[in-house]
A and B are shown apart, each in its own frame.
Chain A
Amino acid sequence: MPSYVNPEKCDGCKALDKTACQHICPNDLMVLNKDIEKAYNQEPEMCWECYNCVKICPTQAVEMRSYADFVPLGASVTPMRSTDSIMWTVKFRNGTLKRFKFPIRKTPEGSAKPDGEFKSGTEDLKSPLLFTEPESLRLPELAKI
């Protein structure tokens, strides 16, 4: 059951109009069981273990139990994602623990400016220059073969 939901932690995202895990799963796997207001993975054998449901869940209710058809039991990999970095805790079957922290972005969330503040070098639709070029190339002009 690749991703699975801890029933004690899942609150069905009741404050939101759609659940976070259902919103994010690229493969449309996470659904809410309306009777008990808890989420589950409706097609675990189509899960990529991309962890997007794990990362987004506001109550840390989603975890991963690796594919049972080729992965021995007992390990876990757990992320804690903040606005600028991610912390990973890797627990081995033999109990070894490793922690890693990596940056994820260098700008405030939401701030990506489409043109990256590069100037446009042309207004000509027929020119091969893209709208941030040539400045964004850091070259005076397009390279030739």
Chain B
Amino acid sequence: MVAEFENVEVTTDLLIVGGGMSACGAAVEAAHWAKMNNLKVTLVDKAAMDRSGAVAMGLSAINQYVDLNSGNNTLKDYIDYVRNDLMGVTREDLVANIARHVDSTVHLFEKWGLPIWKDEEGKYVHEGRWQLMINGESYKVLVAEAAKNALAELGDNGEYFERVFIVEPLMDGDRVAGAVGFSVRENKFYIFKAKAVLVCMGGAVHVFKPRSTGEGLGRAWYPPWNSGSSTYFTIKAGAEMTCQEVRFIPVRFKDAYGPVGAWFLLFKSRATNAKGEAYMETRRDELEKWAPYGKVKPVPANLRNWLGMLDVMEGLGPIYMRTEEAIGKLAENYKDDPKAYKKKMKELEAEAWEDFLDMTISQALLWAATNVAPEEKPSEIAAAEPYFIGSHSGASGAWVSGPEDLQNDATKSEYFWGYANMSTVKGLFCAGDASGASSHKFSSGSHTEGRIAAKAAISFIVDNNTQPNVDMAKTEDLKKTILKPLELFEENKGKTTDPNINPNYIRPKQFMFRLQKIMDEYAGGVTSQFTTNKALLDKGMELLNFLKEDSEKLAAENLHELMRCWENVQRMWQAEIHVRTILFREETRWPGYYFRSDFPKIDNSNWLAFANCTWNPETGEWNMIKRPLKYLTQ
């Protein structure tokens, strides 16, 4: 017998689901406007806000600071950078909206106590044009602290829940009405009723098979705890989704995925192949094929990946980050001053190690375990498996309204429908990885977008100040479905001598491995060198359909495993929408992220457009939609 689950009902005005960068930004902004309008704000996170989400370990850089105040950059500069990096496919209104506010958020971070590096003149130290160096071990702790303090200022009207895993949206016709989930600590089923819901549950990892499949399975570049909850939640609400083909593949130090930004940007290091050739130089001609984007500076992230991949495919690996060469060059500047040289080296060493210790401690462990002295020998870099992270260099997420005041005549009818960052579902807002077509927001831009979305959501609530109706019979059905894996396990566990091997159910880990194998082999993962075609994708879809049927047989021994079951159902939906969208876009636009061998070229005349889709909650049907691209800057 499965134990009873108590229902916990929480009624609120704004519900923020997730507790990461965008959710914390949302809490801070929402609290201010909610206080003015006497509204309630509730936040719910599957983990502890102090250390949840992609910034749980810390970061060593703030990757979006537009520095408008210095006059060195304009808004248009940032928009151009993002549009080019995404091979033309981006919502300039969304990018511009974040970019015009992001500096304000970074200044708040500094006030909260985040140590941002400064030079002798008191100016921020840039890693690259848009990146600031920080001592970011406690970045997330600080951001969570401000969010909690903001909610506390609301008294009874501010509340947060930790260790509650959100599964499904609640709907009232075409308007969102809340969310349901369960505690991973006690037998409690949560029913949140809200006038607006802001989705901030991050991106997805472990949809594709990672390179390490033993103990190192969890050492993906992207943190194993974000499982596509945002995508699942928004699809299930019936929201239109965008850019679901635009996965992200980072090239990082091999195996531990330590950051390379400081080495490339700060230390000016090169990457070379087995013959000592730099693919960025030897393969320059290849960039012509991907014009006009191949010709811009900086070269788009996917094309940089692509040039390195061509070397790997020709058997010219390993690819090395030439740390020894970079340090040697820096040393040359000091050849007449050994004392200054020693000081500079000490500084560089601390900077290089801090880069790892602040955000990828595994890399420090790997270097220590392999006795790496970067001034003596180079270190291998490699492309990781694909991830879904619309806030970084990917673009997947929900299709959301832009702000009214930034639209022009051409964009307004396509990109604006009332409230900034509202999806196509009434009252359902998205930010960070949850909102699409607005890449390169990173930690600071995600926080900022959370703020923008929260203010708009409060505005929506003031304009639509009625509590949507929640059909409690439907909620009870959802409860049964969500808890079913516990029941399946209890009923069947005694039928074999090993609870892991049982014909009546599938446990979430094996389910995840099955998903990863399908995606890896058919949808262009690591082992197929990120290449796929229609026949492979169709076959993959067939196998995904069996998996979908078997998802009803997922079994869970305890609450932790129940969470794993639903995480993997969410990953499966992320996989399906990805495969469908890659199939829909009949071209190769982002080589280096994926390559369609049956459409090996970029096709600007047909596909300089958004590939969107919706899933109909009534019929279960998918509808693929091509949406026009309209720029603000041209």
Contacts and interface: CB of A to CB of B under 8 A. Distances in A.
27 contacts: A27-B218, A28-B163, A43-B560, A49-B362, A50-B56, A51-B361, A66-B369, A70-B214, A70-B216, A71-B370, A79-B357, A90-B353, A93-B369, A100-B350, A103-B115, A104-B115, A104-B137, A105-B113, A106-B114, A106-B115, A112-B146, A114-B146, A130-B104, A132-B108, A136-B105, A142-B100, A145-B96
B369 A73 contact: yes
B113 A111 contact: yes
A69 B219 CA distance: 11
Interface string A88-111: 101111101010101111110111
A93 to B, nearest CB: 5
A71 B214 CA distance: 12
A58 interface: no
A81 B32 CA distance: 33
A123 interface: yes
Given A49-B362, A52-B51, A77-B361, 18 more contacts: A26-B52, A47-B224, A69-B213, A70-B216, A71-B370, A75-B369, A104-B135, A112-B111, A112-B149, A114-B32, A114-B149, A115-B32, A118-B107, A120-B32, A125-B458, A131-B29, A136-B108, A145-B632
Given A94-B371, A113-B146, A145-B633, A66 B366 contact: yes
Q: Indicate the member of A25, A86, A114 with the most B CB atoms within 10 Å.
A: A114
Interface SS of chain A: helix, strand, loop or mixed?
loop
A128 B114 contact: no
B214 A68 contact: yes
Interface in A42-77: 42-52, 64, 66-77
A81 to B, nearest CB: 8
Classify chain A: how many residues form its interface, as a range.
Answer: 35 or more
A41 to B, nearest CB: 10
Nearest to A74: B369
Q: Indicate the member of B56, B184, B405 with the most A CB atoms within 10 Å.
A: B56
B111 A116 contact: yes
A111 B371 CA distance: 41
A81 B48 CA distance: 18
B368 interface: yes
Interface string B39-82: 00000001110111100110000000000110000111001000
A143 interface: yes
A68 B215 contact: yes
B563 A52 contact: no
Nearest to A145: B75
A8 interface: no
Given A45-B218, A67-B216, A86-B137, A93 B370 contact: yes
B153 interface: yes
Contacts of B100: 142-143
Interface of A: 1-2, 23-28, 31, 42-52, 64, 66-77, 79, 81, 86, 88, 90-94, 96, 98, 100, 102-107, 109-118, 120, 123, 125-126, 128, 130-133, 136-139, 142-145
B589 interface: no
Interface of B: 28-29, 31-33, 36-37, 46-48, 50-53, 56-57, 68-69, 74-76, 79, 96-97, 100-101, 103-105, 107-108, 110-115, 135, 137-138, 141-142, 145-147, 149-150, 153, 163, 184, 212-220, 223-225, 255-256, 349-350, 353-354, 357-358, 361-362, 364-366, 368-371, 403, 405-406, 420, 451-452, 455, 458-459, 462, 560, 563, 632-633
Nearest to B37: A125
A110 B145 contact: yes
Contacts of B455: 125, 130-131
A26 B215 contact: no
A112 to B, nearest CB: 4
Q: Indicate the member of B57, B101, B218, B357 with the most A CB atoms within 10 Å.
A: B218
A107 to B, nearest CB: 3
Nearest to A81: B137
A2 B107 CA distance: 36
A144 B462 CA distance: 28
Nearest to A107: B113
A69 B215 CA distance: 6
B138 A23 contact: no
Nearest to A134: B104
Given A26-B52, A74-B369, A128 B216 contact: no
Q: Indicate the member of B101, B103, B349 with the most A CB atoms within 10 Å.
A: B101
Given A77-B368, A125-B455, A112 B142 contact: yes
A114 B28 contact: yes
Nearest to B254: A70
B362 A66 contact: yes
A125 B462 contact: yes
Contacts of A103: 115, 135
A118 to B, nearest CB: 7
Closest 3 CB pairs of A and B: A107-B113, A69-B214, A116-B111
Nearest to A115: B32
Nearest to A67: B216
A21 to B, nearest CB: 11
B113 A72 contact: no
Contacts of B406: 145
Nearest to A73: B369
A20 to B, nearest CB: 10
B256 to A, nearest CB: 8
Contact of B47 (A26, A69, A102, A133): A26
Given A51-B57, A70-B216, A75-B368, A133 B135 contact: no
Contacts of B563: 28
Contacts of A143: 68, 74-75, 100
Contacts of A142: 100-101
Q: Indicate the member of A104, A111, A115 with the most B CB atoms within 10 Å.
A: A104
B353 A64 contact: no
Q: Indicate the member of B29, B47, B462 with the most A CB atoms within 10 Å.
A: B47
A113 to B, nearest CB: 7
A69 B79 CA distance: 42
B33 to A, nearest CB: 6
B508 to A, nearest CB: 11
Contacts of A31: 560
B182 to A, nearest CB: 13
Nearest to B206: A46
B137 A102 contact: yes
B107 A131 contact: no
A123 B219 contact: no
A77 B370 contact: no
A107 B104 contact: no
